Amino acid sequence: MAALRKRRGLGEDIADRLDLPGEALLGSAKLTLTANRRALIENHCGILEYGPEQIQIAVKRGKIVLRGSDLRLAAMNKGELLICGKLQSVEWE
Query: CATH number for the domain including 67?
Result: 2.60.40.2000
Q: What pLDDT does 7 receive? A: 46
Q: With respect to residue 14, please indicate whether it lies within any of the assigned structural domains.
A: no
The structural domain count of the chain equals 1
Residue 17 lies in a domain: no
Domain range enclosing 45: 28-92
Residue 6: the pLDDT is 45
Strand positions, DSSP E, the chain: 30-34, 38-42, 44-50, 54-59, 62-76, 80-92
Kindly report whether the global pTM for this prediction surpasses the value 0.75: no
- Tell me: the pLDDT tens digits for 39-80? 999 999 999 999 999 999 999 889 999 999 999 999 999 889
For residue 66, what pLDDT is reported?
A: 97
Burial label for 23, CB within 10 Å (0-12, 13-18, 19+), is middle
